[in-house]
Structure 1
Amino acid sequence: MQLHADLDLRACVDAYALPWTPSPAAGVERRMIERDGAEAARATSLVRYAPDSRFPSHAHPRGEEILVLEGTFGDEFGDYPPGTYLRNPPGSRHAPRTDEGCTIFVKLRHMHPQERERVVVDTAERAWRTSAVCGLRIMPLGGFRGERAALARLAPGTRVPTHRYAGGGEWLVLDGALRDDEGVYAAGTWLRLPCGTRQTVSSDAGCTLFVKTGHLR
């Protein structure tokens, strides 16, 4: 399957409007945002687990990133409440599960093959950092060799000066709405910006974003 697979092209998707499609595991469904490959694919998705559902143990040859959006996600290493960011490095293995049900944002096969550290961040417990831009706060989550993942929060009325994504970038609007020269993006919007893209953003009412940069080189 090829879905927004060309990393040299800008892509914008209303992820919340996508249909849920079955996965190989009973009770687990996906909204496919970006995909290059069959079942073993480089992919970006929303994944919904029904209560008491499981996914068989499997490996991640090129790594996996997860942001828990709703409910409590789990595996043999622990339970992860809403807001938890997980970074499972290339070569890692786990068996996902949930008791109450959950929805997660997942990225597969985007990580550097030499990355080895597993990262777990409870964003509800981590402090926000101020930035050089008034009204913009950042929460770093993880990264490796120039690739970075973070949450960004724009206060109402914030405008961020033009930024160039040398290594490409993408973001998912978690709440509120973001604006740039091409439109306004509500919660659930996923946007990919190819290497070299320049962008100026602002938010009238405020918003929170999951941001990933430097991984499209």
Structure 2
Amino acid sequence: MTLDKYRDLADRMLGPFVGGAKRLGISPDGVSVVAFVAAAAAAVVFYLAGSDPVLYLAGAVLVFVNGWLDLVDGALARELDVSSRAGDLLDHVLDRYADIVLLVGLAAGIGRYDIGLAAVTGVLMTSYLGTQAQAVGLDRVYGGLVGRADRLALIGITAGVAAFYTDAVAGLTIVGWLLVALALVGHLTALQRFYYSMRALS
């Protein structure tokens, strides 16, 4: 299950946002930067939410803003016919930094850097295997158990729930269990992408 396969559907819903960015004169790279700023702001809010759970709601909104703008920048680049390898590189670099700061913010908020480290490495390996397939001549891999769209949806939804449900289960809050899940599924997705890439190359 992955939301990435619905990218085409999402692209068709982006018209008003792409049109708005064009009227404001914002470049696709500018949208990418704003998307990262939203993720960084969410990370700070998640850290502060460790002592005030209601703040998780604001963090959830910022996560969804990051995810939506991540779609807008690509659609805007295609609309303006300014797609470039440099823009693609910037987008991917900012996406990876956004992934890192979001997970670090969540882990710092609950004081569980160990689980945060496992989640960060799982997410980075998932992304690495996706683009490494392209580097060896295959199509870029978006499939697997969890793609970036899925991660953002899980983080946003869980953060929204965490604003109201603060009880710990087996020593972890719902945010802690989210990090555990992202760590496990992230590494499994990376291995799944590696397996399918190796099959394609053999």
If asked which structure has higher relative contact order (CA below 8 Å, sep 6+), I would say 2
Q: Tell whether the structures are fold-level matches, with TM greater than 0.5.
A: no
Larger strand fraction of residues: 1
Q: What's the TM-score once normalised by structure 2's chain length?
A: 0.27
